[in-house]
Amino acid sequence: MKISKFRSSIIITLLVLVPITSYGHPGRTDGNGGHKDNKNASGLGSYHYHCGDNPAHLHTNECPYGNGGTSGDIGGTTNDWESSWAKDSIKDFIEKEYIKGYPDGSFKPTKSINRSEFVTIFNRVFGLTTKNGKIFNDTKNHWAKDSIDIAVTNGVAKGVSETEFAPDSPITREQAAKMVANYKKISDTNYDKLNGYSDGANVSSWAKSEVEAILEKGYMNGYLDGSFKPKGEITRAEAVVTLDRSKTEKKTEFTWDDAVQYIINALGPEDEHFIYNGRTDVHLDDNGRRYCYVWKEKRNAPSIAEGTIATYYVYEDGTVIPY
């Protein structure tokens, strides 16, 4: 099928450049690869739970977040995540009960996250439940022993040795990247992305191909100073955004041809009466979503004005909206 198309006139756009954090949001980073957030924001409540020998729970008897702590109720008003660069992902994860806050009502987006916490939220995000009874010497009495078992069974994580998992050790950025890549079954030995970082050579050999793949996919990025900080501790905000991106993966490219295919899927193919026409350039809406203009028009019409039947916005996710 031949799709006719024309190119729009050149549009000059004035861009205002702002500093970008490691995950593509305006802001400034802290010393741990996290981001400075304002305190005492108000809004949606957090979940409070007691963890320890007798953990309280909602849908699991594992400590959802916060190492230890005291008992609490669902609620809280110290929503320090509301001013975070990752607030949309954090809000979504809280509402879906993938992650929960601390007894004081805070979320602590710039706080590091440990290995047991990371695999617990990972399992929730991807709906993993299969386990085979794997227990390490340091997990047999741990609140997250089932989550660790699930992560190991599903090929997400391994121990730091045959007998130890180090559940309470902070997870590093390269470890988190490795776990995501393990589950997604991706790796890349063309280190063009990694070589672009000042400390790319510091990535451990066991994680190098997986970190490259994660960078290629856009699940993680580097920092303003040109580093990736592979040995740095990933923050709670960064962990949420990384998992959110890997869960809701989008096409890395969006073209006119994609738009045409999407509108054919939605409205049917061209026939002897009409064709799809439009601008071949890709636009961004106010929410950062990519789209193309596509017209449905009469075949062999003398002009666009005389031939246009309808105009549509065709988005990168396949959504087709009448103009």
Tens digit of pLDDT for each residue in 169-202? Answer: 999 999 999 999 999 989 999 999 999 999 999 9
Predicted confidence (pLDDT) per residue in 54-79, tens digit: 222 222 333 444 333 222 222 334 57
What does the pLDDT read at residue 57?
Answer: 26
Give the C-alpha separation, 148 to 165, whole Å.
8
46 close to 52: Cβ distance less than 8 angstroms: no
166 phi and psi angles, rounded to 5 deg: 60, 55
Query: Which residues are paired to 275 by β-bridges?
Result: 297
Asked whether residue 167 carries a pLDDT value surpassing 70, the answer given is yes
Backbone region of residue 291 per phi and psi (left: phi > 0; alpha: psi in -120 to 50; beta: other values): beta
Give the predicted TM-score (pTM) of the model: 0.59
